[in-house]
Amino acid sequence: MSINTQVPDSTGDHLAIQQVLYRYSRGIDRCDQKTLKSVWWPSAKADYGNGEVDALAWSDEVLSALSSMLRTQHMLSNILIELSGDVAAVETYCRAYHEIDSDDGPLELEVGGRYLDRFERRNGEWRIAHRRYVLDWNRNTPSTAQWDSEFYSTLARRGKRKPDDPFYTGA
């Protein structure tokens, strides 16, 4: 078996697609509706396991749910892109952390999964036209966060939702 070690001549397309995925994570984690919606084509569909829905409508619904959580972080890796003209099949691994309040105190919910996306390039711009999410694993435990312990108390700049996050405030 041989492994293709050549850098594709479509490096610019690969980077543009990765930037869309990174904007998705920022939009989700900061609950930034404008950023999140910028990753989808207007006619895009998304299927996170409950059937195919309008991706822009899904964006509104998911931000409503996520804004009630204490914090989230979506980390992307293993981005494999197969280009075919103005269409790209993209598989992206995602590990997502969510902390929520419960009657028993904060809970940490962590999931590992993959986005199976069809990207389309229109007028030179790449966006997601269709997404299917695959859940590979999950873990749910009481939170062990120690925000005011000696190790973390001096780290006063902490992630928040838009518009209070340091990315938006410059603080």
Write the CATH number for 24. Answer: 3.10.450.50
What is the extent of the structural domain holding 122?
11-164
Q: What is the pLDDT of residues 21-73, one digit of tens each?
A: 999 999 999 999 999 999 999 999 999 999 999 999 999 999 999 999 999 99
Going across the sheet that includes 87-100, the strands are 53-54, 40-47, 125-142, 107-122, 87-100, 71-84
CB neighbour burial string for 104-125, b if at least 16 within 10 angstroms, e if fewer: eeebbbebebbbebebbbeeee
Total number of domains in the chain: 1
Mean pLDDT of the chain, nearest integer: 91
Tell me whether strands 71-84 and 53-54 are parallel, antiparallel or unpaired.
unpaired
The answer to whether residue 132 sits within a structural domain is yes
Evaluate if residue 114 carries a pLDDT over 60.
yes
SS3 129: strand
The answer to whether residue 52 sits within a structural domain is yes
pTM of the full structure: 0.87
The answer to whether residue 4 sits within a structural domain is no
Q: Are 5 and 111 in contact (CB under 8 A)?
A: no
Average pLDDT over residues 132-153: 88
N- to C-terminal Cα distance for the chain? 51
In the block, residue with structure tokens 């103005």: 86
